[in-house]
């Protein structure tokens, strides 16, 4: 069954053949001059190179006009690893080549991910002691919390009794009593200020252990809480994480310390720069990806953070590698397990080379084996060459078919 490449090659080869068949015959003097300069060795089918004849005519397989091959020209090779084209065919197919040489391989990778908070600055505030919530200073989701400022006041008989014991026991036992108060939720500064606390005040303030934003709360005035019960969840949004999956073919390009430019639809036109701080060594065999983390500074601007929690974002990483042997990406033909390039050998001959590929850049691809520096590879027209090479290999074992003398109605 004909492949699209073979069909395109047939059309490309048929155009100049038709033109040559229908052009005005040259003058007798011109024919004599050209014959004296070059002698036709034989006629050959461009599509089926094993079909040759000593006389002009048409291919017995596809019906195309036979192409004259002059003395000294290689003709069309019938082997699968070499394809030969006349100079007119080279021009019609617009065959272009480029040199295989060492280059700095560059690539820009883009990723989609989410903006998350720094897990190292994420904290849950639980009740230290049984008691009843008497007053809330932070009473809604998303509120800003300042370290050392009160979160709520609690009435707890256990905590109140421990405070009174600390004030009445001898000084040599106070360090132990202070340790007990710290375990019940008071800070060293609060313990030091207990002597000045009014005697009729029976509630105690619980202070924020860190600054941040309330991402979850489960506390109300009048609520009775027990020790260990979750009350607040606080996250520090001053530094955010851009977390994105990287698939296995791109892992080799990334390393810790690379700069990533992050954009998000929530801040159009703005670019946030950060560096890769962590590449998760736990590869997910289902998604075939691993997680990469970028740290982004997120200062307050007019009372709010520019990057919000759990935003969608995109990142771009400009990558480079030391100089390696490369060819343009368009030179590589890979329709199966093998990667193939076609190398120009001069006089219209192009050899099929199987190569082993390395990393792929934006415009070039690394060649690990199969090519040498300085060889010229086909970058345009290689698909048609590959189609012809595939067909040549299929019919390489077929015997050459000489043409019978053509009749008048089949003569060119």
Query: Between 410 and 182, where is the model more confident?
Result: 182
Among the listed residues 259, 264, 263, 255, the one whose alpha carbon sits nearest the alpha carbon of residue 274: 259
> What is the bridge-based pairing of β-strands 150-155 and 96-99?
unpaired
Query: Between 412 and 402, where is the model more confident?
Result: 402
Out of 69-73, 266-270, 396-400, give the one with best mean pLDDT.
Answer: 266-270
Say whether pLDDT at 235 is over 90. Answer: yes
Tell me the C-alpha distance between 51 and 56, whole Å.
12
Which helix (DSSP H) or strand (DSSP E) does residue 179 occupy? Answer: helix 174-183
Cβ 352 vs Cβ 342: under 8 Å: yes
Among the listed residues 256, 219, 269, 264, the one whose alpha carbon sits nearest the alpha carbon of residue 240: 264
pLDDT, position 32:
42
Confidence band of 22 (pLDDT split at 50, 70, 90): very low
Residue 347's φ and ψ, nearest 5 degrees, are: 55, 35
Say whether pLDDT at 377 is over 50. Answer: yes
Say whether pLDDT at 412 is over 50. Answer: no
Question: Percentage of the chain surpassing pLDDT 70?
Answer: 83
For the segment 402-409, the average pLDDT, to the nearest whole number, is: 45
Tell me the C-alpha distance between 179 and 252, whole Å.
52
Tell me the C-alpha distance between 333 and 330, whole Å.
8
| Angle between helix 4-22 and helix 382-394 axes, rounded to 10 deg | 100
Picking from 237-251, 272-286, 336-350, which range would have the lowest pLDDT averaged per residue?
Answer: 336-350
Say whether pLDDT at 4 is over 80. Answer: no
Query: Between 210 and 86, where is the model more confident?
Result: 210
pLDDT tens digits, 112-128: 999 999 999 999 999 99
Picking from 25-29, 49-53, 107-111, 218-222, which range would have the lowest pLDDT averaged per residue?
Answer: 25-29
- Which ranges of 200-310 does DSSP label H, i.e. alpha helix? 248-251
Confidence band of 76 (pLDDT split at 50, 70, 90): low
> What tokens were used for 178?
């202070």
Say whether pLDDT at 90 is over 90. Answer: no
Say whether pLDDT at 261 is over 60. Answer: yes
Secondary structure of 116-147 in HEC code, one letter for each residue:
EECHHHEEEEECCCCEEEEEECCCCCCCEECC
Picking from 41-50, 228-237, 243-252, 301-310, which range would have the lowest pLDDT averaged per residue?
Answer: 41-50
237: Cα separation from own chain's centroid: 28
pLDDT, position 80:
56
> What tokens were used for 115?
């903006």
Which helix (DSSP H) or strand (DSSP E) does residue 50 occupy? Answer: none
Q: How many CB atoms lie within 10 A of CB 109?
A: 16
Q: Vertex 342, ends 339 and 347: CA angle to 5°?
A: 170
pLDDT, position 395:
64
> Which residues fall within 8 angstroms of residue 241, CB to CB, at 6 or more apart?
115, 116, 117, 118, 119, 293, 294, 295, 296
pLDDT tens digits, 317-333: 988 778 899 999 999 99
Confidence band of 31 (pLDDT split at 50, 70, 90): very low
Tell me the C-alpha distance between 220 and 204, whole Å.
16
Among the listed residues 350, 344, 354, the one whose alpha carbon sits nearest the alpha carbon of residue 392: 350
Confidence band of 79 (pLDDT split at 50, 70, 90): low
> What tokens were used for 49?
């190179």
pLDDT, position 81:
73
Say whether pLDDT at 363 is over 60. Answer: yes
């Amino acid at each position: 069954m004909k492949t699209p490449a073979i069909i395109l090659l047939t059309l490309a080869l048929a155009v100049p053949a038709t033109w040559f068949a229908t052009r005005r015959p040259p003058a007798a003097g011109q024919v004599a001059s050209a014959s004296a300069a070059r002698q036709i060795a034989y006629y050959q089918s461009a599509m089926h190179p094993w079909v040759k004849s000593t006389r002009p005519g048409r291919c017995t397989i596809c019906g195309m006009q036979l192409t004259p091959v002059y003395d000294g020209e290689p003709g069309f090779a019938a082997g699968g690893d070499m394809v030969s084209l006349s100079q007119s065919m080279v021009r019609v197919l617009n065959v272009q080549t480029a040199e295989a040489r060492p280059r700095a391989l560059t690539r820009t990778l883009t990723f989609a991910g989410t903006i998350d908070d720094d897990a190292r600055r994420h904290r849950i505030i639980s009740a230290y002691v049984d008691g009843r919530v008497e007053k809330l200073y932070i009473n809604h989701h998303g509120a800003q919390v300042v370290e050392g400022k009160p979160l709520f006041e609690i009435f707890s008989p256990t905590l109140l009794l421990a405070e009174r014991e600390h004030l009445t026991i001898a000084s040599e036992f106070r360090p132990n009593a202070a340790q007990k108060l710290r375990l019940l939720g008071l800070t060293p500064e609060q313990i030091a200020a207990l002597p000045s606390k009014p005697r009729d005040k029976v509630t105690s303030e619980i202070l924020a252990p860190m600054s941040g934003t309330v991402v979850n709360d489960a506390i109300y005035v009048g609520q009775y809480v027990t020790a260990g019960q979750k009350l607040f969840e606080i996250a520090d949004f001053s530094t955010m994480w851009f977390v994105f999956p990287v698939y296995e073919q791109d892992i080799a390009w990334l390393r810790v310390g690379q700069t990533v430019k992050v954009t998000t639809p929530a801040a159009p036109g703005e670019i946030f720069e950060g560096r890769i701080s962590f590449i998760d060594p736990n590869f997910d065999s289902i998604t075939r990806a691993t997680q990469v983390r970028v740290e982004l500074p997120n200062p307050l601007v007019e009372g709010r953070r520019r990057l919000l929690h759990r935003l969608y974002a995109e990142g771009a990483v400009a990558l480079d590698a030391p100089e390696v042997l490369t060819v343009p990406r368009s030179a590589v033909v890979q329709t199966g397990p093998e990667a193939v390039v076609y190398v120009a050998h001069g006089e219209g001959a192009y050899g099929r080379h199987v190569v082993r590929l390395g990393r792929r850049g934006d415009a070039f691809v690394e060649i690990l084996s199969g090519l040498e520096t300085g060889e010229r590879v086909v970058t345009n027209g290689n698909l048609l060459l590959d189609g012809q090479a595939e067909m040549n290999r299929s019919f390489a074992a077929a015997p050459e078919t000489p043409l019978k003398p053509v009749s008048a109605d089949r003569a060119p």
